[in-house]
Chain A
Amino acid sequence: DTEVTQTPKHLVMGMTNKKSLKCEQHMGHRAMYWYKQKAKKPPELMFVYSYEKLSINESVPSRFSPECPNSSLLNLHLHALQPEDSALYLCASSQVGVRLGSYEQYFGPGTRLTVT
């Protein structure tokens, strides 16, 4: 099983709403990532969890709150978002180890978020 799943596929939310994005993998990967991708742009890294601990936060606004409840699951909690936060949110996972650079990141299909 080399699949990363993300739910929901699409999400429309108002600026006062609270919602969550979910990501799951069962490949035994111990690193999980959240990316934000605008149209025709590369993914921008937001957060990295390594062994269920937050290892990288790319200065993301606090209205985005990540959570890694266990090694298979990654959530992104959203609150008081702005219209400019509308984007495709990608989750990815990879192995962690000595040869870190070689490990492929497996991407999910993404959640397309629209903030109204």
Chain B
Amino acid sequence: DGGITQSPKYLFRKEGQNVTLSCEQNLNHDAMYWYRQDPGQGLRLIYYSQIVNDFQKGDIAEGYSVSREKKESFPLTVTSAQKNPTAFYLCASSIRGQVYEQYFGPGTRLTVT
């Protein structure tokens, strides 16, 4: 089955700790994205990558970092510098240049206390 996987589904961390969220896709897509979703708000773009070894900041990149060493993988690190890290994090992918046809993973719910 082709698709996007995110792990873990739920993640709990103490304040001050960095945490890395996994995103893997086997759709052979060049472009991958990370979004954050908070209650009552639309998805907000954190980082995106159009190709391996290249990525750009989205609207709310502060306190986050990413890497894109493989086409299939786009991990997101939530650092201790992120002021409000508790949220639902969604990874997506698309054919490069077809941002209008993104496919999403199941999401990771991160809770930081």
A binds B: no
Question: Residues on B close to A: CB < 8 A?
Answer: none
Question: Residues on A close to B: CB < 8 A?
Answer: none
